[in-house]
């Protein structure tokens, strides 16, 4: 009888293959196999095609034509060759095998029998020194995340009840100031209530490229193999190492939580409902069908929101600028006090995008740290600050009068004592219809 292969076993085999010498020096081949495998694990195998892989893995852009550019087919052929070589050499005793059938991009996982199996039990994995420390980190992670969820639930429930108890006719007749109405109108009645998605961050938080050297030096490394719970997170794919750093002020989702309360107060005052969901319970198909506001971009599917977009992109804790213009940087990273190592400047991306139905929108508000997210939400609710964004967008429109409906905005904020200060606009990009 053929035994089913668990998701954990598939991920373990994928990890072994990608860490082998056959893939170690080939980042694009690694990204290709990892991407198609992850999409298959998420149930999106039927959506894998040359165009999606070309755009997502090889950064080919929205005008990518697979018929003219055979990059995906060529690389798929190479990956099949490398997989065959791996299972002839280092992986010859593997109990599970990964294949990429010719003409297809959905990997197939199958069981194989070791050539020299003798029925003996496999040697026990040695006990690693410091395992008790790892267990404590797991416990701290679980308890801290649970506490954060309870606090968030309390804040949202209290806010909703307070709004219901104080509701009156004047609230339903309220209108937003003209300075911000142009931005928020797509999410207000008669449009359906937006789905607000808040991030689930790991605590202790995972270090990333935006951290200072001092922060990285204080980290505690845990081998990825010891944290299978994180395999469906964007952290697992983007970060080469799992280095966890202790923090009470950033990546705690405090800024996003305060932003949710602020947004819900605004929506309630306009007679609009406020729907809130945590990212791990939201899927891409659900996001595509509604008005959506995504706070933080650490969802496993968040990279697909950036798909086909030119301009700014959030990746591994920094903001990349694909086509820098005069006075702009190619990379925007947080800034820290050289003595105290406290965050002094953060950045955030705001994306207003069309959804699958053009009458719906996807609004993504994403700070590198939680202070950036909070500052961006405050910016978007401030009529005076939003006049700055409006003027910049109008200047980029063909007629110099119309506000483009879809755009990206890069914001920055000062930070003092882990609290965001004054925020300002760094740059904007118009996204073609």
Q: Which residue has the higher pLDDT, 428 or 128?
A: 428
**Residues 129, 244: Cα–Cα separation, whole Å:** 18
**Residues 368, 250: Cα–Cα separation, whole Å:** 9
pLDDT digits (tens, 9 = 90+) for 293-323: 888 755 555 555 554 456 888 877 889 998 8
Average pLDDT in the 154-159 region?
A: 50
pLDDT digits (tens, 9 = 90+) for 164-196: 444 433 333 357 888 899 999 999 988 888 888
Q: Specify if 162 maps to a domain.
A: yes
Instruction: Let me know: does 346 contact 413? Beta carbons within 8 Å.
Output: yes
Cβ contacts of 110 within 8 Å, gap of 6 or more:
5, 96, 97, 99
pLDDT digits (tens, 9 = 90+) for 223-259: 888 888 777 676 677 777 888 887 766 555 677 878 8
Examine the domain organization and report whether 202 and 349 are in the same domain: yes
Examine the domain organization and report whether 275 and 136 are in the same domain: yes
Q: Specify if 403 maps to a domain.
A: yes
Per-residue model confidence (pLDDT) at position 170: 35
Instruction: Let me know: does 101 contact 108? Beta carbons within 8 Å.
Output: yes
Of 56, 82, 111, the position where a domain reaches its end is 111
Band of pLDDT at residue 148, cut at 50, 70 and 90: low
- Tell whether the model's pLDDT for residue 141 goes beyond 70: no
Task: Please state the pTM of the whole predicted model.
Answer: 0.56
pLDDT digits (tens, 9 = 90+) for 61-74: 888 898 888 999 99
Examine the domain organization and report whether 69 and 167 are in the same domain: no
Token readout for 417 is 């004592």
Per-residue model confidence (pLDDT) at position 50: 92
**Residues 387, 364: Cα–Cα separation, whole Å:** 20
Is the torsion defined by CA of 270, 271, 277, 283 positive or negative? negative
- Tell whether the model's pLDDT for residue 117 goes beyond 50: no
Q: Is 426 helix (H, G, I), strand (E, B) or coil?
A: strand
The domain of 48 spans: 7-111
- What is the chain's mean pLDDT, rounded? 79
**Residues 27, 139: Cα–Cα separation, whole Å:** 34
Q: Specify if 232 maps to a domain.
A: yes
Cα distances (Å, whole numbers) of residue 283 to 197, 279, 316, 364: 10, 8, 21, 15
Per-residue model confidence (pLDDT) at position 120: 43
Of 51, 80, 111, the position where a domain reaches its end is 111
Match 């991030």 to its residue by tokens. Answer: 199
pLDDT digits (tens, 9 = 90+) for 53-102: 998 888 888 888 988 889 999 999 999 999 999 999 988 988 899 999 98
Token readout for 77 is 């052929």
Examine the domain organization and report whether 138 and 24 are in the same domain: no
Token readout for 164 is 């219901």
Per-residue model confidence (pLDDT) at position 332: 95
**Residues 49, 66: Cα–Cα separation, whole Å:** 10
Q: Specify if 293 maps to a domain.
A: yes
Examine the domain organization and report whether 270 and 317 are in the same domain: yes
pLDDT digits (tens, 9 = 90+) for 190-220: 888 888 876 655 567 788 888 888 888 888 8
Examine the domain organization and report whether 239 and 355 are in the same domain: yes
Backbone angles phi, psi at 54, to 5 degrees: -60, -40
Per-residue model confidence (pLDDT) at position 317: 82
Per-residue model confidence (pLDDT) at position 310: 63
Burial (0-12, 13-18, 19+ Cβ within 10 Å), 134: middle
Instruction: Give which of 83, 35, 87, 91 is closest to 59, Cα–Cα.
Output: 35
Average pLDDT in the 321-350 region?
A: 92
Examine the domain organization and report whether 223 and 371 are in the same domain: yes
Examine the domain organization and report whether 93 and 144 are in the same domain: no
Per-residue model confidence (pLDDT) at position 84: 93
Examine the domain organization and report whether 247 and 287 are in the same domain: yes
- Tell whether the model's pLDDT for residue 123 goes beyond 50: no
Cβ contacts of 315 within 8 Å, gap of 6 or more:
238
- Tell whether the model's pLDDT for residue 355 goes beyond 60: yes
Burial (0-12, 13-18, 19+ Cβ within 10 Å), 179: middle
Q: Which residue has the higher pLDDT, 205 or 335?
A: 335
Instruction: Give which of 327, 425, 431, 426 is closest to 384, Cα–Cα.
Output: 425
Examine the domain organization and report whether 166 and 296 are in the same domain: yes
Q: Is 320 helix (H, G, I), strand (E, B) or coil?
A: strand
Is the torsion defined by CA of 175, 179, 180, 185 positive or negative? positive
Q: Specify if 124 maps to a domain.
A: no
Band of pLDDT at residue 360, cut at 50, 70 and 90: confident
Cβ neighbour number for residue 72 with a 10 Å cutoff? 22
Least confident stretch, 4-18, 109-123, 318-332: 109-123
Strands (E), 227-281: 243-245, 275-278
Per-residue model confidence (pLDDT) at position 59: 84
Cα distances (Å, whole numbers) of residue 39 to 54, 105, 204, 217: 14, 10, 27, 34
Task: Give the DSSP letter of residue 119.
Answer: S
Q: Specify if 384 maps to a domain.
A: yes
Of 51, 76, 111, the position where a domain reaches its end is 111
Token readout for 49 is 């095609």
Token readout for 397 is 């429109």
Question: How many domains are contained in the chain?
Answer: 2
Per-residue model confidence (pLDDT) at position 375: 93
Per-residue model confidence (pLDDT) at position 424: 94
Per-residue model confidence (pLDDT) at position 99: 93
Q: Specify if 125 maps to a domain.
A: no
Task: Give me the residues paired with residue 420 across strands.
Answer: 415
DSSP letter string over 374-408? HHHHHHHT-HHHHHHHHHHHHHHSTTSSSPPSSEE
Examine the domain organization and report whether 261 and 197 are in the same domain: yes
Examine the domain organization and report whether 155 and 45 are in the same domain: no
Token readout for 381 is 């609710």
Q: Specify if 120 maps to a domain.
A: no
């Amino acid at each position: 009888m053929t035994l089913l292969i668990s998701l954990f076993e598939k991920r373990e085999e994928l990890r072994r293959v990608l860490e082998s010498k056959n893939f170690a020096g080939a980042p694009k081949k690694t990204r290709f196999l990892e991407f198609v495998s992850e999409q298959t694990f998420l149930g999106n195998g039927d959506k894998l095609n040359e165009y999606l892989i070309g755009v997502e893995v090889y950064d080919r852009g929205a005008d990518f034509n697979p018929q003219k550019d055979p990059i995906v087919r060529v690389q798929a052929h190479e990956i099949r060759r490398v997989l065959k070589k791996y299972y002839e050499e280092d992986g010859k005793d593997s109990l599970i095998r990964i294949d990429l059938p010719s003409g297809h991009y959905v990997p197939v996982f199958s069981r194989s029998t070791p050539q020299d199996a003798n029925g003996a039990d496999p040697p026990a994995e040695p006990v690693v020194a410091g395992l008790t420390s790892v267990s404590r980190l797991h416990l701290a992670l679980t308890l801290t995340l649970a506490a954060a969820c309870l606090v968030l639930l309390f804040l949202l429930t209290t806010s909703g009840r307070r709004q219901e108890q104080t509701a009156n006719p004047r609230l339903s007749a309220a209108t937003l100031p003209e300075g911000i109405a142009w931005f928020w109108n797509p999410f207000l009645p008669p449009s359906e209530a937006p789905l607000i998605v808040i991030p689930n961050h790991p605590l202790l938080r995972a270090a990333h490229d935006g951290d200072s050297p001092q922060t990285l030096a204080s980290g505690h490394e845990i081998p990825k193999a010891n944290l299978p719970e994180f395999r469906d997170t964007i952290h697992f794919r983007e970060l080469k190492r799992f280095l966890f750093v202790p923090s009470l002020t950033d990546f705690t989702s405090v800024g996003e939580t305060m932003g949710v309360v602020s947004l819900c107060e605004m929506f309630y005052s306009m007679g609009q409902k406020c729907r809130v969901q945590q990212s791990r319970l939201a899927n891409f198909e659900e996001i595509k069908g509604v008005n959506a506001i995504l706070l933080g971009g650490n969802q496993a599917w968040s990279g697909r929101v950036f798909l086909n977009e030119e301009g700014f992109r959030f990746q591994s804790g920094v903001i990349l600028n694909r086509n820098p213009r005069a006075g702009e940087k190619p990379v925007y990273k947080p800034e820290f006090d050289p003595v105290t190592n406290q965050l002094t400047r953060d950045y955030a991306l705001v994306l207003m995008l069309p959804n699958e139905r053009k009458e719906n929108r996807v609004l993504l508000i994403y700070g590198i740290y939680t202070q950036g997210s909070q500052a961006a939400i405050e910016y978007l609710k401030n009529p005076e600050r939003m006049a700055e964004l409006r003027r910049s967008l109008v200047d980029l429109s063909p007629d110099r009068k119309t506000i483009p409906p879809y755009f990206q905005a890069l914001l920055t904020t000062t930070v003092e004592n882990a609290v965001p200060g004054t925020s300002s606009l760094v740059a904007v990009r118009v996204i073609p219809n």
